Structure 1
Amino acid sequence: MAKKQKKKQPITTRVQPTDAKFKHSRVETARLIRRFHVLNKELAKCRAEPSPANTTYEQDILKEMEAMGGLDWYQKASQLGQSKTRGGDSSKWLIQTLKSHCKEQLDTSARPLKVLDIGAVAPDNYKPYSSWITAKPIDLNPQHPDIQKQDFLKMTPPSTDETRFDIVCLSLVINFVGDPKDRGQMLIHTRHFLTSPSISNRLHYLFLVVPLPCIDNSRYMTHEHLLSMMTSIGYTKCIHHHFSNKLAYYLFELTTVPSTKNISWKKKILPGKEGGARNNFAVVIE
C-alpha cells in the first residue's frame, strides 16, 4: 500500500492580519525581510516542480505573503534598512570604491557615468553625485514615482553603446530571486546593458551586493567559487571586494563577452561546506 504523502505545512505559523499597520522598528523590519526571503525561495521551488501538492503549498505561501503585507511591505522594510539612521545605502561603498580604485578611469571619462540601479528602494541614492553620475532606478514594485516599474529579467537591453550603461548595480537583488537559475540568468543579462569592453573611454562595471551568509555560510557558494563563476561569463577582473559584518560587496569589470553555450555551473555542495547549519543560497548557470 502506497504511503500517503504528508501535506506540507506553511512556512510561518503566525500570520500578520492584512489590516495591521506597518511596524517601523529595526527588529520587525528585519524579521519581515528574513521571512519574506524564506517564503520567496519556497515559492520558487513550488513553481519549479509543479504538482498538486506544490500547487496547494504555493497558495498557502501566497496567502502568508499577502497577510504579511506582500511585496509592498517588503519594500518599505528595505527602505528603512538603508536609511541613514540604520547605516545608509550600499551606493556609498560604490562611490568610495570608484574614487579610490578607479580614479584614472573617472578622470578620462568624457561625460557623466550612466548607472542602472536595479531593485532601487530610493530614487535619490546618487543625487549627491549628480555632477558626474546619472542614475536610472528600476524596481518590480517601486516605492516612489521616480523609480521605473520594471522586471530586469524581461527588460530589453539598449541597442547601442551610446545608450548603454557604465555601471549596473545589483545590490541585494539576486538573493531576493528565488530560483538559482534566474539568479544566473540575471548575472548574464547584466552584460547586455554595459558598454562594449572594446570601448576604452567607458566603464564596464557590475556592482554586486549580497548578504554575507550567501558567501560564507552557503553549501553551494564561496568567495572563490563566485569569482570563478564571474570570470567564466566575462567579469574577469574583481576591482575590489569587501566583507562587512552583514554584507559582501563586489565591483567587477566586464573585460570580454564569451558565449555561455558551453558554460555550466550546477548546484552542488562544495568541499568543506557540508553540514546542517548552512544555508542553500546558490547560483546556477546552464
Structure 2
Amino acid sequence: MVKKQKKKQPITSRVQRTDAKFKHSRVETARLIRRFHVLNKELAKCRAEPCAASSAYEGEILAEMESMGGLDWYQKASQLGQSKGRGGDSSKWLIQTLKAHCNVDSVKKPIKVLDIGAVAPDNYKPYSAWITAKPIDLNPQHPDIQKQDFLQMKPTVDKFDIVCLSLVINFVGDPKDRGQMLIHTRDFLSLPSVTDRLHYLFLVVPLPCVDNSRYMTHEYLLEMMKSIGYKKCIQHHFSNKLAYYLFELTEVPDTSKISWKKKILPGKEGGGRNNFAVVIE
C-alpha cells in the first residue's frame, strides 16, 4: 500500500506567531532574526518571479513579517545581539585590524567610515580622535542613524576611506542584489590612485555563508572580490559564528563582462547545506 504523502504546510504557517510584546531573551531574539532572514529570502524569490501564486504567497510572507513586528523588531533584536552582554559589535575587529595595519597615531585626517546597516550610532565614538562615521540603515533605531537604502544611494563627491557591510548582504534576499551591493561599494571609495586615502571594504557574514553553503566558499568569495577590484584581502578571521574580511580596492575594473552565476560548487553537493549565494551579472 502506497503511503499517502503528507501535504507540506506553507512556510508562513510553520512557526508560532510572536506575542505583541517584544521579547528580550537571547533565545527569542536569535529565533526572530533567523526567521526574518528565511522570510526575507522567500520574499525575494516571489518578487523575482511574479505570478498570481507568488503574489498570494508574498502576501502571506508580509503578513507573518508584520505579525513578528516587522523590520522594526528585527532591528531591535539586532541591537540586542551586538550588545556587550552578547559579545559586542563587529567594529571591534575592524579597529584592531586597522591598528595592526595602519599607523593610526600619525593620521592627519580622520578616517571616514560609511557604516551601512548600522544598528547603533556610536560604535566608533571611542575612536573619534581618528575616525568619523556616517551610519545609515533602512529602518534606523536611533535618530542619529540616517534612513537610507544603500542600493539606491547615489555616490558622494567626498569619498569614504572605509565602507562597512557588517551582516548586511546576508540579510538581502536576492543574490543579484548582494552582488550589486558589493559592486556599489566601490562608488563610495576614492580611486586607488589617490594615495592619501584608504580604500577598504569591511565585510562580515555569518560563518555558515562561507563554510556550509552549496554556492559559496571562502576561496570562491576571495576570487569573486578580486574580479571586481578588491584584489587584496588585508586580513580575514573566522570566529565561532562570523567570518570577517578587510579588503582593499586596488583597481576599478569594468564589471559589465564579469559573470558569477549561482552554481553548486564541487564537493558541496548533498543535503545539510544552506543556499547562501552571491550573483554578479
1:12 to partner: Cα distance: 4.1
- Distance in 1, Cα, partners of 2:107 & 2:251: 20
Deviations 1:243-280 (A, max 9, x none): 00000000000000000011000000000011111000
Written as runs of structure 1 = structure 2, the 5 A alignment for 1:72-151 is: 72-103=72-103, 106=104, 109-151=107-149
Q: Which of these residues, 181, 185, 195, is aligned with residue 186 of structure 1?
A: 181
Root-mean-square deviation (CA), in Å? Answer: 1.3
TM-score of the two chains, using structure 2 as the length reference: 0.95
Counterpart contact for 1:110–1:201, Cα < 8 Å: no
* Equivalent position SS for 2:12: coil
Counterpart contact for 2:46–2:58, Cα < 8 Å: yes
Counterpart contact for 1:15–1:67, Cα < 8 Å: no
Q: Which residue of 2 aligns with 1:11?
A: 12
Q: Which of these residues, 262, 276, 281, is aligned with residue 271 of structure 2?
A: 276
Counterpart contact for 2:107–2:130, Cα < 8 Å: no
- Distance in 1, Cα, partners of 2:209 & 2:162: 23
Counterpart contact for 1:108–1:201, Cα < 8 Å: no
Deviations 1:67-110 (A, max 9, x none): 0000000000000000000010000000000001233xx45643
Q: Which residue of 1 aligns with 2:241?
A: 246
Q: Which amino acid aligns with 2:10?
A: Q
Q: Which residue of 2 aligns with 1:225?
A: 220
Q: Which residue of 1 aligns with 2:24?
A: 24
- Distance in 2, Cα, partners of 1:7 & 1:107: 60
1:9 to partner: Cα distance: 1.3
Moved more, 180-189 or 108-117: 108-117
Distance change (3 Å), C-alpha of 1:12 and 1:212: farther
Q: Which amino acid aligns with 1:248?
A: A
1:34 to partner: Cα distance: 0.2
1:15 to partner: Cα distance: 4.0
- Distance in 1, Cα, partners of 2:205 & 2:66: 25
1:11 to partner: Cα distance: 3.5
Q: Which residue of 2 aligns with 1:197?
A: 192
Unaligned residue ranges in structure 2 (runs of 5+):
1-6
* Equivalent position SS for 1:78: helix
2:229 paired with 1:234:
yes
Q: Which residue of 1 aligns with 2:260?
A: 265
Q: Which amino acid aligns with 1:280?
A: N
Counterpart contact for 1:8–1:57, Cα < 8 Å: no
- Distance in 1, Cα, partners of 2:43 & 2:186: 28
Deviations 1:191-241 (A, max 9, x none): 000011101111000000000000000000000000000000000000000
Aligned length: 275
- Distance in 2, Cα, partners of 1:73 & 1:98: 32
1:16 to partner: Cα distance: 2.2
TM-score of the two chains, using structure 1 as the length reference: 0.94
Q: Which residue of 1 aligns with 2:153?
A: 155
Percent of aligned pairs sharing the same letter: 81
